[in-house]
Homo-oligomer: A and B are copies of this chain.
Amino acid sequence: MERLFVCDLRVGATITQHFLVKGKHQRQKKTGEPFLAFLLADRTGEITGNLWEGLEEAERTIQPGDFVRVRAFVTSYQGSPQLNIQGMQRLKPEEVETEEFLASTCKDVEEMMGYLRRTAGSLKDPNLRALLKNFLEDEAFVTAFKRSPAAKGLHHVFLGGLLEHTSSVVRICEGILTQYEGIHRDLLLAGAILHDVGKIEELGFEKGVLDYTDRGRLLGHIVIGSEMVRERIRSLANFPPRLELELLHILISHHGEHAWGSPKRPKTIEALLVHYVEDLDAKVAAFQDFMRHSPDPFRLHWTSYHKVFERYLYLRDAEEQSLEGSEKDAPR
């Protein structure tokens, strides 16, 4: 039976599928009869489900944060679907498919990986090319890289977010490259590709929740990433020390300022560019995401208040929007 996501559930259906338990409360019917009300979720939304039998065992074995297999009948309560649970069991870790519970990039993962590999292959410097190959043809790395989000809270907070962010940064760097003289193309693109690799160890999932890992909290992706790069450089023969230094400098300085967590600030054009472009890409993604998901219900043309950016964002009318993107679609 194919999975029906929460957003697709229709009253009357009978389902058997997996959910993340986000809440559990003991309640009483008006008759005084007790039941357990669960808040269940997958990556498309949340739904309430009530369990009427086997309460004691469920109370004991199932906790918020667990993944469960639920057998249920979809009913309606105050106009919304609700589950009438016939049975539920905790899943073993190997039964959980994280993708069912976490949002993913809407872009084509293989297309983006292909783009990065082609870009890496286009480098003229054999050392940087070898280094990137070492990363991008290492299956374990690629698997992690393709799944990693790019951040916990502000932008690209979904599976594949890191890949989406990275390939966007590389594309923009490629475009800017041709505007200036004297840019070291290979160094810039290698730095753009690798700038955030530390995030695959900084962020992780546990019980369906995205969070910083212990390494992430104690060391951070800047230090982790520079270690990852150094280790692979050591495994290559004769990587030029100055090239290593400049490449590591891009990673170390890509937050731009001490106050933003970089132990060093950019001292080369390439480091400066990677900092600006990755900051810009993160901000644009955060703006777009917030504009999509948080319009102010009471105020036309505006989102609700964005606490990190400390401002409301302006939303253009649909008709005005019609000119957007026309460039891309228009025949020339």
A313 surroundings in chain B (CB, below 8 A): 267-268
A215 surroundings in chain B (CB, below 8 A): 245
Which A270-320 residues have C-beta < 8 A from chain B? 272-273, 276-277, 279-280, 283-284, 287-288, 291, 298-299, 301-302, 309, 311-314, 316-317, 320
User: Is there contact, CB below 8 Å, between B177 and A125?
Assistant: no
CA distance A242 to B219 in the complex (A): 12
User: Is there contact, CB below 8 Å, between A252 and B218?
Assistant: yes
Of B179, B227, B323, B328, the contact of A184 (CB 8 Å cutoff): B323
Indicate whether A325 reaches chain B with its CB closer than 8 angstroms. yes
A130 to B: closest C-beta gap in Å: 15
Q: In this complex, what residue of B is CB-closest to A226?
A: B223
Indicate whether A265 reaches chain B with its CB closer than 8 angstroms. yes
User: Is there contact, CB below 8 Å, between A314 and B280?
Assistant: no
User: Is there contact, CB below 8 Å, between A323 and B259?
Assistant: no
Of B168, B182, B183, B301, the contact of A179 (CB 8 Å cutoff): B168
Indicate whether A258 reaches chain B with its CB closer than 8 angstroms. yes
CA distance A138 to B313 in the complex (A): 34
This protein's copies in its complex: 6
A109 to B: closest C-beta gap in Å: 17
A219 surroundings in chain B (CB, below 8 A): 226, 245, 248-249, 252, 263-264
A223 surroundings in chain B (CB, below 8 A): 223, 226, 248, 252, 263-264
User: Is there contact, CB below 8 Å, between A217 and B124?
Assistant: no
Interface residues of A, dominant DSSP = helix
CA distance A311 to B253 in the complex (A): 13
CA distance A152 to B324 in the complex (A): 34
User: Is there contact, CB below 8 Å, between B276 and A182?
Assistant: no
User: Is there contact, CB below 8 Å, between A273 and B280?
Assistant: yes
- Known A180-B288, A226-B223; contact A276-B268, beta-carbon cutoff 8 A: no
Indicate whether A236 reaches chain B with its CB closer than 8 angstroms. no
CA distance A326 to B177 in the complex (A): 11
A207 surroundings in chain B (CB, below 8 A): 298
CA distance A1 to B187 in the complex (A): 49
CA distance A327 to B124 in the complex (A): 9
Of B183, B262, B314, the contact of A263 (CB 8 Å cutoff): B262
Indicate whether A175 reaches chain B with its CB closer than 8 angstroms. yes
A22 to B: closest C-beta gap in Å: 12
Indicate whether A178 reaches chain B with its CB closer than 8 angstroms. yes
A295 to B: closest C-beta gap in Å: 14
Indicate whether A171 reaches chain B with its CB closer than 8 angstroms. yes
Hey, what's the 0/1 contact readout for A195-218 against B, CB within 8 Å counting as 1? Answer: 000000000000100010011011
Known A219-B245, A273-B284; further 19 A-B contacts with Cβ < 8 A? A124-B327, A175-B179, A180-B284, A181-B325, A183-B324, A183-B325, A184-B320, A184-B324, A214-B245, A217-B312, A218-B248, A218-B249, A222-B263, A227-B227, A258-B260, A262-B263, A265-B309, A269-B284, A280-B280
